[in-house]
A and B are shown apart, each in its own frame.
Chain A
Amino acid sequence: LAKTTQPISMDSYEGQEVNITCSHNNIATNDYITWYQQFPSQGPRFIIQGYKTKVTNEVASLFIPADRKSSTLSLPRVSLSDTAVYYCLVGDVNNDMRFGAGTRLTVKP
């Protein structure tokens, strides 16, 4: 099981781009990387998933370098409503997906 490491917290300002990096040094060949967002007193919500290079959807981009030992979630032009905890998960073929500690993002006006 690939262990993930993320910064505990990050601060940003409205309108800025935020990049949250997750380290997963022992990621296996078939593992996928998934990011979830969680607001207080709510369940996590899927943001994006990728295997390699770059994935983009309507809310975020995910950058994965060739060695796949890390990944970066990029949130363009954040707003106050993006204040949340962001979790990086590495899922393996044994269906073992565990949430890491998460990064608490605070967006300030």
Chain B
Amino acid sequence: DTEVTQTPKHLVMGMTNKKSLKCEQHMGHRAMYWYKQKAKKPPELMFVYSYEKLSINESVPSRFSPECPNSSLLNLHLHALQPEDSALYLCASSQDLLYTDTQYFGPGTRLTVL
């Protein structure tokens, strides 16, 4: 099983709402990633967890709050977002946090902020 699942597929939220994105993998991978992708742009790295600890935070605004409850789950909590945060949010996982490790991506959550 080389699947990374993400829920929900689509999310529409207002600027005062609080919502969460969920990502799950059962490949035994120890590294998990959140990316943000705007239309016709490459994915931009947001956060990386390794062994359930936050390893990389690419200076992401605090209205995005990641959480890794266990080695299979990754959440992204959203609060007080802006319309410009509308994008495709991708989750990925890899065996370890090695630059040679293949990243397996989920299908993404399409977020619209009104």
Contacts and interface: CB of A to CB of B under 8 A. Distances in A.
A95 B42 contact: no
A55 B104 CA distance: 20
B99 A96 contact: yes
A43 B97 contact: no
Interface stretch (B14-22, B63-71, B105-113): B105-113
Interface of A: 31-32, 34, 36, 41-46, 49, 87, 91-102
A101 B102 CA distance: 19
Contact of B103 (A31, A32, A46): A46
B74 interface: no
B98 A95 contact: yes
Interface residues on B, range: 20 to 34
Contacts of A42: 105, 107-108
Given A41-B110, A42-B108, A43-B90, 18 more contacts: A34-B102, A41-B88, A41-B108, A43-B4, A43-B106, A43-B108, A45-B105, A49-B100, A87-B42, A93-B99, A95-B48, A95-B56, A96-B99, A97-B99, A97-B103, A99-B44, A101-B42, A102-B42
A95 B103 contact: no
B43 A91 contact: no
A65 to B, nearest CB: 20
B92 interface: yes
A23 B48 CA distance: 26
A44 B42 CA distance: 10
Interface in B74-114: 88, 90-92, 97-100, 102-108, 110
Contacts of B104: 46
B45 interface: yes
Contacts of B44: 99
Contacts of B107: 41-43
Contacts of B102: 34, 46, 49
